[in-house]
Amino acid sequence: MSASLAWQYAIVAVLVAASAFSVLRKYLPSVWGRVLARTADLLESARLPGVLRRRGAALRARIPASVGGACASSGGCSSCGACGTAGSDPKPAALPLAEPRPLRRH
């Protein structure tokens, strides 16, 4: 394998990884928040240098607020309103039915 082909594969791999992280952040915010929390836990270890501990604290500040507290134990984002709140009644509100259209006779 030539060096230029290896560089091409490396660049494509970086772009694919960046795309995957972007999709993960947008469509799975609770998973992204858990990944950030776990990474921050690892970086804030007492046996690591102070530079890495500060990086862990900065990552912890970027964790979305919706992680862990919404949609019961699933850690959902609660932006769709499907899971409701803790004090709401479990029955959804009834939707009114539309009036039927009159039949046409030819």
pLDDT (0 to 100) of residue 9 = 97
* Domain spans of the chain, in order of start: 3-61
Long-range contacts formed by 13-18: CB under 8 A, 24+ apart: none
pLDDT (0 to 100) of residue 76 = 52
Provide the pLDDT confidence category of residue 91 given band limits of 50, 70 and 90. low
Q: Is pLDDT at 87 greater than 70 in this prediction?
A: no
pLDDT (0 to 100) of residue 94 = 73
- pLDDT per residue as tens digits for the range 9-63: 999 999 999 999 899 888 888 888 888 889 999 999 889 899 999 999 888 888 8
Residue 5 φ/ψ, nearest 5 degrees: -70, -35
